Amino acid sequence: MSPLANPLPDAEAQCRQLADLIRPYLHRNPALIGIYSGGAWIAERLKELLDLPEEIGLIDVSFYRDDFAEKGLHPQVKPTDIPFEIEGRHLILVDDVLYTGRTTRAAMNELFDYGRPASVSMAVLADRGRRELPIGATYCVWDIDLSDGQNLVLSRDDDGQLAWRLENV
């Protein structure tokens, strides 16, 4: 894990690096599924960068989180939209930050409600470690160590450009 860089890395450049990591595996005809919201933005960008003809899937894990009873319904729940058959497909689940693994676990639970994929890989821009579940990223461009009071947040401006910001909680 590397300490936090200042300034934060260029998220757009990181998307290009992530596409380069995935490109050698395109012969498997993977389908991209982005986790709302940062993962959805990255999946859209990867679709462009990798020149994939198939639409991406979008997944909202709100109802599948193991802390749903504690947190309740997020005010911006979005519908899951998977416009392709999951059964037997190689899937790449895309998110912005991998942390405890709980969001990824929730996403996989939801995916398996749609069918049984041949494989599920994980692609993230940032891995901040401190896993609570045995989940890891297959494709990752940035290992980062943050303190407990910090959150790494991906944002998208009006022009669609992605950028990191650091929030203290």
What is the DSSP track for the chain? -BPPPSSPP-HHHHHHHHHHHHGGGGGG--EEEEETTHHHHHHHHHHHHTT--SPPEEE--GGG-TTHHHH---TT----B--S--TT-EEEEEEEEESSSHHHHHHHHHHHHH---SEEEEEEEEE----SSS---SEEEEEB---TTEEEEEEE-TT--EEEEEEE-
Can you give the pLDDT at residue 74? 54
Can you give the pLDDT at residue 166? 94
Whether the model pTM is above 0.85: yes
For the chain, which residues score pLDDT lower than 70? 1-5, 65-76
Ordered by where they begin, the domains of the chain are 11-168 (3.40.50.2020)
Can you give the pLDDT at residue 68? 47
Can you give the pLDDT at residue 64? 78
